[in-house]
Amino acid sequence: MPKLDENQLKSLSVFANLNHVIVKQNVELLEAIVGFETKNKYIALDEVGRQLFSIAEESSCCFRQLCSSGRAYTMHVHDVNMGEVMIIQSPMRPCKGPLCFACCDLCSHQNHVFCCQKEIGYIKEELTFVWYNFVVYKSDDMPAYTIKAPLCRWDCCCCEDVFQIYEYQGNVPIGKISKTFSGLAKEVFTDADLFGVQFPREIHVRDKALLFAAIFLIELMFYENNKTDPRKAMS
Quote the pLDDT of residue 230. 34
Position 4 in a domain? no
Phi, psi of 206 (to 5 degrees): -60, -45
SS3 content of the chain, % helix, strand, coil (to 5): 25, 35, 40
Quote the pLDDT of residue 228. 43
Sorted by sequence, the CB contacts under 8 Å of residue 101 that are 6+ apart come out as 95, 107, 108
Quote the pLDDT of residue 71. 75
Identify the domain containing residue 38 by its residue range: 13-234
Position 7 in a domain? no
Quote the pLDDT of residue 204. 95
**CATH no. for residue 47?**
2.40.160.200
Sorted by sequence, the CB contacts under 8 Å of residue 133 that are 6+ apart come out as 125, 126, 146, 147, 148, 149
Beta pairing partners, 31? none
Query: What is the spatial distance between Cα 25 and Cα 5, in angstroms, rounded to a whole number?
Result: 32
Report the C-alpha dihedral over residues 202, 126, 112, 6, rounded to 10 degrees.
30
Query: What is the spatial distance between Cα 134 and Cα 211, in angstroms, rounded to a whole number?
Result: 11
Position 5 in a domain? no
- The per-residue pLDDT for range 67-90, each reduced to its tens digit, is 556 678 899 999 999 999 999 998
Position 1 in a domain? no
Query: What is the spatial distance between Cα 27 and Cα 40, in angstroms, rounded to a whole number?
Result: 9
Position 50 in a domain? yes
Average pLDDT, consecutive stretches of 10 residues, N- to C-terminus, the chain (235 residues): 68 94 80 64 92 87 58 92 94 59 63 94 83 91 94 61 95 94 51 83 97 94 60 32
Positive or negative, the Cα torsion across 47, 138, 82, 163? negative
Inter-residue contact 163 to 176 (CB < 8 Å):
yes
Position 25 in a domain? yes
Residue closest to 52 by CA, chosen among 80, 93, 92, 75: 80
Quote the pLDDT of residue 233. 35
Report the C-alpha dihedral over residues 227, 209, 47, 44, rounded to 10 degrees.
-50
Residue type, 200: P
Quote the pLDDT of residue 215. 96
Query: What is the spatial distance between Cα 113 and Cα 138, in angstroms, rounded to a whole number?
Result: 10
Number of structural domains, the chain?
1
In terms of residues, how long is the chain?
235
Phi, psi of 2 (to 5 degrees): -60, 140
Quote the pLDDT of residue 111. 93
Position 167 in a domain? yes
Phi, psi of 129 (to 5 degrees): -90, -5
